[in-house]
Amino acid sequence: MPKERILIYSSLLTIALAGAGFYAFKQASDPRLSMDEVARIGNSVITADQLKAYMGQRSSASNALEIKNRLLQELIEREALIATAIDEGYEQDPAVVRALENALIARLRERQLKPAIERIGVSEDQVSRYYQDNIARYTTPAQKRAAIIKFELADNAPAAESKRVVELAHRVQTLALSQPEAIRGFGSLAAQYSGDQGSRYVGGDIGWHAEQSQSLDPALATALSGITKPGEISAPIKGRDGLYLLKLIDIRDERITPLESVATNIRIQLLQRMRMEQEADWLKATVASVKPAVVNESLLSQMVVVRDEEVAAVRPPELPQ
């Protein structure tokens, strides 16, 4: 290589190194950037810790200068957008303010209320005590399954009509007593004679009823409590709107659901209630810690809110173009 070319290359390299050193010295001594500041845009500063934290959030981050520059540019763009939005006054926009307030409330709940709620537990003793205190809720009373035949008879029916219906009821009772034990309810007699449309085609079966069931005619409920043997048939019963024959089909004793079958549901129920109480106490304490809330009752009572759909309903139609 000619000696002159070597001298030229050497001179250019020296100039380049000197320029790089001068630029580095200028950057290090630039009063606009401190030692921990990576960049500044307007009044915002991006520190080395901020850039490191941002890089830590990105799976594609590496220590390559190109990557660091790209991520730094993203932060610069973000700060520029925020600054421009503030210059436009968007931080005063009600929707933005509301979103910020909601974010603040969410963070407060997360830091203060959530840990307190997560510490709440329900012990076995609490579950057992609730079960015993509310045992009626887990008790199914003794029930009887019955069948009826209803004979229509109005209260103001003539004596002759009343006599006819009573005699019919006794005849059907005799027929029922002669039926085989295998017949469930009144069998075909219900379809032939009963005026109760809901049960006549199922042997008069009216299902299970507890003592003094409110769903039965009071006279029927009283009669049902007095018969105790399956298959037993009552004498004709005068009800509110007719005569009845009543037959006991089956008996089911009182049943208590065991604790182990409902313990999980009880624990969930108690936990929900305790968490709601914890939240209510926390809200009350938070309000009290700020300052007493003062309510203008007079103004509150006079306020009227007109919804958008109500406004649209009274708005006159637009004129044709």
pLDDT in tens, 103-112: 999 999 999 9
Query: Do both 174 and 223 map to the same domain?
Result: yes
In Å, what is the CA distance from 38 to each residue of 5, 59, 66, 71?
40, 21, 15, 12
> Where is pLDDT greater, at 129 or 63?
129
Residue 19 has pLDDT above 80, yes or no: no
Q: What is the pLDDT of residue 23?
A: 41
Phi, psi of 46 (to 5 degrees): -110, 115
DSSP-assigned letters across all residues of 111-179:
IIIHHHHHT----HHHHHHHHHHTGGGGEEPPEEEEEEEEEE--TT--HHHHHHHHHHHHHHHHHHHTS
Sign of the Cα torsion 186, 190, 192, 194 reads positive
**Nearest by Cα to 70 from 84, 58, 83, 80:** 58
Shared domain check, 239 and 159: yes
Classify residue 235: in a domain, yes or no.
Answer: yes
> What's the mean pLDDT in 258-277?
97
Instruction: Say how many Å lie between the first and final Cα of the chain, rounded.
Output: 87
pLDDT of residue 304: 85
Q: Let me know whether 13 and 149 are in one domain.
A: no
Over residues 13-30, the mean pLDDT reads 40
Give the CATH number, domain containing residue 171: 3.10.50.40
The domain of 215 spans: 142-253
Q: Which amino acid is at 230?
A: P
pLDDT over 80 at 128, yes or no? yes
Q: What is the pLDDT of residues 215-249, one digit of tens each?
A: 899 999 999 999 999 999 999 999 988 999 999 99
CA atoms of 42 and 46, how far apart (whole Å): 11
Average pLDDT, stretch 123-140?
96
Amino acid 320: pLDDT = 55
Give me the mean pLDDT over the 172-199 stretch. 94
The pLDDT value given to residue 317 = 60
pLDDT (average), residues 134-150: 95
Residue 149 and residue 247 share a domain:
yes
pLDDT value of residue 312: 56
pLDDT band at 148 (very low <50, low <70, confident <90, very high): very high
Same domain, 153 and 241: yes
Mean pLDDT score, 92-100: 94
Strands 205-210 and 143-152: antiparallel
The predicted pLDDT at position 13 comes to: 37
Query: What is the band of 290 on the pLDDT scale with cuts at 50, 70, 90?
Result: confident
**246, 236 Cβ separation under 8 angstroms:** no
* Same domain, yes or no: 105 and 81: no
